[in-house]
Amino acid sequence: MAKTLAEKIIENHFVSGSLKSTEEVNIKIDQTLTQDATGTMVYLQFEAMDISRVKTELSVSYIDHNTQQADFKNMDDHQFLQSFAKKYGVFFSRPGNGICHQVHLERFGIPGKTLLGSDSHTPTGGGIGMLAIGAGGLDVACAMAGAPFSFVMPHVIGIHLTGKLNPMCSSKDVILKLLQLETVKGGVDKVYEYYGKGVETLTVPQRATITNMGAELGATSSIFPSDNITKEFMKLQGREKEWRELSADIDCKFSKVIEINLSEIEPMIAMPHMPDLVVPVREIEGKKIDQAAIGSCTNSSINDLGIAADILDNKTVNENVSLGIAPGSKQVFENAIDAGIIKKLVKSGARILESACGPCIGMGFAPSSGGVTVRTFNRNFKGRSGTKDGEVYLASPETAAASALFGVITDPRKIKITSKDYSEFTKSDDSMIVPPASSIEAKTLEIIRGPNIKPCPKASVAENKFEAKIIIKTEDNITTDHIMPAGAKVLPYRSNIPEIAKYTFEAVDPGFYENAKKAGKGIIVGGENYGQGSSREHAALAPMYLGIKAVVVKSFARIHKANLINFGIAPLTFKNSSDYDTISKDDIISFPSFIDDIKKGNEVKAINKKTGKEMIFLHDLTAKSIDILLEGGMLNYTKKIV
């Protein structure tokens, strides 16, 4: 039977389960990646499993998120991660070497392999034909221990690309267009697979921009074929030997096909505060801006910087705009120096930032109060920039540079320059990647553990009969940034759950922490697509630590739902969505037969003690997920079965 590329890779890695979409499948993971903000928990969990070396073909630990070091905490984390990597068989990418997804694409990704990363933008690797998936940290720890990764066998959506992008239109505009069509919840349990003549017109970094931001669609992954363009990219990286040709069978069946003619793509922009609030740039042209930023794992390749440099060449950034540029990796940075790009940017007044996530995760470069900023990033959730009322617009490097030049949102097609191709500048140097020690030397190595690193707490086993209070009732599209904020103040506590728990839902309801603690047992109520965005398991760990027993919503985002199960919180949905309107914050919900119900079928009985109303909540847990949940999470479960 003819197959899509995603199906072929899944089949090649199949361990158990079912290959029928919507059913659970378990696959072998070849490579893993972690970054420092999620990594400390991953390695603490791995340590708890008592395994002496990672069992994957390759595991890499990157430092790119917590690079602002206001006190000892972030660097303590870095040292923990570095010592851990050396001992347990993990490659370590030092701070300064770049953003995990950019570096992984350049130095480690291999077409046809599977990659699991504790970061939602891991699908960037789909740009070279990998099946790359973002997951919670605990799932990544288990993959490093050699366990297969379980997920819902996705529907594969075909994106048929034809035509060729016009000057000043970019692959960022393609993914923004797709977000406009599909929305932030359109991709749940789906893989977006790109094919057609238009694919040949896109470079690997352009493809990676698209697969990267497929995360904003809520997709499990996104993937391009591995063709001659991929081969050329790998050759320039000195890794031609790792290339192999891969594509879907010509007559394969996609569950849906979306046609995109690249020649018809125009500059697009996502408006505050959601990546799918997309309009053509021309519709909001002329809006005054205060800041612009070019970088992040979405748009920080050499050509992303190069086009900005050419737009700004021999000109000065508008006097009311601050422009920040963060090269995606040390490799990009060095080559941008050799290509003369950095000189042009510095001359124009751009501020060169570190090769790291930086402003994308609220680590510096926050906009002014009420400030308008045009960024080439992938997320513009309220407050994520570090400024509560900051207005973040997401666009291409072309649009960001043109807007920085004129001081207002500008359609870059106004600028008549021919963009240069800098892809040949690819000198690489892996001196900032520290290899692991040999297994003999590893035995003698100690792990460095600063005082801010606290063990990962565990949940208690489930009860059959209990009452819990509704601590918060939220709207649709709640992100994990709402549940557990990031930024310079909170990120240093990623390895300290008792401390970070104090910030849970801080921007939505500052009373959440105290109320949850007082209640002892709590419930979170939400709308559609609850938990979209970041993979941070802290958005499940902290609620678990505060006694949350169930999250009842209209629908879930994939990674967060898996994280809830991993930490012993029941992910439930309303059988009658109108029940959402009948319950309020502070209501007490009683579950008369929770365990019996969960084991018996997919319905869980609940009674609102305030109104007396009986409700049915639904679950779609597999047999294994039920065991994990009832045991009080994956750590307890694994301990019990090994």
- Which member of 203, 535, 563, 608 binds ligand MIC (CB under 6 A)? 535
Select 297 or 309, whichever has its Cβ closest to ligand SF4. 297
CA 530 to chain centre: 15
Widest CA span of the chain, in angstroms? Answer: 72
The three-state DSSP-derived secondary structure of 36-68 is: HHHHHHHHHHHHHCCCCCCCCCEEEEECCCCCC
Distance CA 461, CA 463 (A): 7
Smallest gap from residue 354 Cβ to ligand SF4 (A)? 12
Smallest gap from residue 536 Cβ to ligand MIC (A)? 3
Q: Decide if residue 384 touches ligand SF4 (CB under 6 A).
A: no
- Both structure tokens of 417: 């320059």
Give which of 377, 201, 221, 217 is closest to 296, Cα–Cα. 377
Select 121 or 549, whichever has its Cβ closest to ligand MIC. 121
Q: How many residues bind ligand MIC (CB under 6 A)?
A: 14
Q: Position 490: which residue type?
A: V
Residues 9-68 that bind ligand SF4 (CB under 6 A): 65
Select 171 or 410, whichever has its Cβ closest to ligand SF4. 171
Task: Tell me which of ligand SF4, ligand MIC, none is bound by residue 183, counting a contact when its beta carbon lies within the kind-specific cut-off of 5 to 8 angstroms.
Answer: none
Per-residue binding letters, 339-358, with ligand SF4 (x by CB under 6 A): ------------------x-
Give which of 45, 16, 50 is closest to 32, Cα–Cα. 45
- Both structure tokens of 451: 């005082």
CA-derived radius of gyration, the chain = 24
Q: Decide if residue 342 touches ligand MIC (CB under 6 A).
A: no
Select 300 or 573, whichever has its Cβ closest to ligand SF4. 300
For residue 395, what is the DSSP state?
-
Residues 541-600 that bind ligand MIC (CB under 6 A): none
Residues 115-174 that bind ligand MIC (CB under 6 A): 119-121, 134
Residue with tokens 């938990």: 531
Distance CA 532, CA 524 (A): 15
Select 515 or 535, whichever has its Cβ closest to ligand MIC. 535
- Both structure tokens of 570: 């029941």
- Kindly provide the residue ranges of all beta strands, DSSP E only, lying in 447-601, ordered along the sequence: 466-473, 522-525, 548-553, 570-574, 588-591
Q: Decide if residue 478 touches ligand MIC (CB under 6 A).
A: no
Pairing of strands 256-261, 221-223: unpaired
Residue 228 φ/ψ, nearest 5 degrees: -65, -30
For residue 264, what is the DSSP state?
G
Q: Decide if residue 119 touches ligand SF4 (CB under 6 A).
A: yes
Distance CA 248, CA 238 (A): 26
The conformational region for residue 365 under phi > 0 = left, psi -120 to 50 = alpha, else beta, is left
- Both structure tokens of 369: 């109060």
Residues 84-103 that bind ligand SF4 (CB under 6 A): 99
Smallest gap from residue 450 Cβ to ligand SF4 (A)? 23
Q: Decide if residue 482 touches ligand MIC (CB under 6 A).
A: no
Task: Tell me which of ligand MIC, ligand SF4, none is bound by residue 296, counting a contact when its beta carbon lies within the kind-specific cut-off of 5 to 8 angstroms.
Answer: ligand SF4
Note whether 456 and 41 are within 8 A (CB): yes
Task: Tell me which of ligand MIC, ligand SF4, none is bound by residue 99, counting a contact when its beta carbon lies within the kind-specific cut-off of 5 to 8 angstroms.
Answer: ligand SF4
Task: Tell me which of ligand SF4, ligand MIC, none is bound by residue 536, counting a contact when its beta carbon lies within the kind-specific cut-off of 5 to 8 angstroms.
Answer: ligand MIC
Smallest gap from residue 58 Cβ to ligand MIC (A)? 20
Binding positions for ligand SF4, rule: CB under 6 A? 65, 99, 119, 121, 296-297, 357, 360-361, 377-378
Binding positions for ligand MIC, rule: CB under 6 A? 37-38, 65, 119-121, 134, 361, 379, 486, 533-536
